[in-house]
Amino acid sequence: MNMLAIAFKEWAAVCGALAAGRQTVILRKGGIAEAGDEFTPEHPEFLLYPTFFHEHRVGVKPEFAALFDAAEQSRPATGTIRFTHLVRVAKVQRVTNIDDALALDRFHVWTPDVVKQRFHYRTPGLFALTVRVFALPEPQARPERPEYAGCKTWVELAEPVPTAGATPGLTDDEFTRGTP
């Protein structure tokens, strides 16, 4: 049985967009708890760990507001994380030009203002991860542990999640058409 213990913290609405096949690029700057204050794309496969801490409605394009609402409505009980999808990274790109970052607009749900804010935070630039998302055969709940807290991207789970039988959210053709 395939097991995965690496999780990637991301806005719950973004996780919903990824799961629905409406987003194929994750833009990442990094959390304040990252080594050197910068994100490193160190894992080619990971679980999506939906978070609600920094998420805000005005950061999501209006046409994706329903994803924000759905994330709030399906929010697990306090102290629980629900894993429903895993991600495989197809490509990693360091974006150092704001126009190039804004040109990725159709591949994600963030507003241009959020992209600009993240791009210019501390040192200009972002990572763009082109990703393929797979649905787990069954949602997996895990307790949220104190060591998972904080502004960090990567979390090593104490209890791995089974991933055998995960199915792609997009066909090969849909994925190819929907990526930069």
pLDDT in tens, 25-55: 999 986 544 455 556 678 999 999 998 766 5
Mean pLDDT of 147-157: 89
Record the pTM.
0.90
- Categorise residue 176: left if φ over 0, alpha if ψ from -120 to 50, beta otherwise: alpha
Please report the pLDDT score of residue 69 as a whole number.
82
Rounded mean pLDDT of 164-180? 94
Residue of 29, 47, 38, 35 whose CA lies nearest to 142? 47
Q: Each residue of 59-113: pLDDT tens digit?
A: 889 998 888 788 878 888 889 999 999 999 999 899 999 999 999 999 999 999 9
Whole-angstrom CA distances from 33 to 15, 26, 30 are: 21, 19, 8
CA distance 132 to 139: 18
Please write the tens of the pLDDT for every residue from 12-25.
999 999 999 999 99
Distance CA 174, CA 2 (A): 26
Quick one: pLDDT at residue 42?
A: 82
Confidence of residue 136 (pLDDT cuts 50, 70, 90): very high
- Burial class (CB within 10 angstroms; exposed 0-12, middle 13-18, buried 19+) of 1: exposed
Of 1-5, 48-52, 84-88, 149-153, the least confident: 149-153
Look at residue 39 in the predicted model and tell me its pLDDT: 64
For residue 47, what pLDDT is reported? 98
- 105 phi-psi bin (left φ>0, alpha ψ -120 to 50, beta other): alpha
User: Which residues, in sequence order, are CB contacts of 128 under 8 Å at separation 6+?
Assistant: 25, 26, 27, 92, 93, 94, 95, 101, 104, 180
Rounded mean pLDDT of the chain? 89
